[in-house]
Structure 1
């Protein structure tokens, strides 16, 4: 996984896990990989993954079954959607608006390109 410099690694790993949930690669009730497995897969320190897991547990996206591992919660899709939507609206959208204003891109062009994107 390629990590960006502008965001904490544990949050980027949280985005990775949340994306798997939204893509239904990990469904409600599914066991997710262990901290060690994720650390190896993502080539990061297990402590970083542990911090991610703690963060996602606080958000009620995953939960632990003692001695069995971590699982996707019943409300995970709704929680992930709300979390990601809030992040997008607070962080990404203002930058997006700034760029379309600076570049003189109108909403009709955006609408056209969005429709093309949806058709793919």
Structure 2
């Protein structure tokens, strides 16, 4: 995994896990890699992964079964969508709107490009 400098690593790992849940790679009630396993896989400190898992537990996306490990929660997809949607709407969308305005991109062009993107990637 390539990390960027503009966001904390544990947040980037959380987004990575959320993406796996949204894509169905990790399904509801499925066991996640242990803290150590994921730390080795991502080449980060185990404390960073633990911080990620703590954040995702607070958001009710994963749960810890004592002595067994961390699992994706039953309502994880809904929780992930809510969590990611809030981040997008509050942090990313204002910058997108700024660029749309500054570049004088019409809503019609955006709509067409969005539909082309959906057609090419999800149909």
Find the counterpart in structure 1 of residue 15 from structure 2: 15
**TM-score for both structures, normalised by structure 1:** 0.97
Find the counterpart in structure 2 of residue 5 from structure 1: 5
What is the count of residue pairs matched by the alignment?
120
Q: Distance in 1 between matches of 2:49 and 2:40?
A: 10
Q: State the superposition RMSD in angstroms.
A: 0.7
Find the counterpart in structure 2 of residue 41 from structure 1: 41
Q: Matched residue of 1:96: which SS?
A: helix
Q: Matched residue of 1:14: which SS?
A: helix
- Could you list the runs of 4 or more consecutive aligned residues of structure 1 that deviate by over 4 angstroms after TM superposition? none
Q: Distance in 2 between matches of 1:106 and 1:5?
A: 32
5+ long unaligned stretches in structure 1: none
5+ long unaligned stretches in structure 2: none
Shift of 1:4: 1.2
Q: Distance in 1 between matches of 2:40 and 2:70?
A: 17
Q: Distance in 1 between matches of 2:114 and 2:75?
A: 29
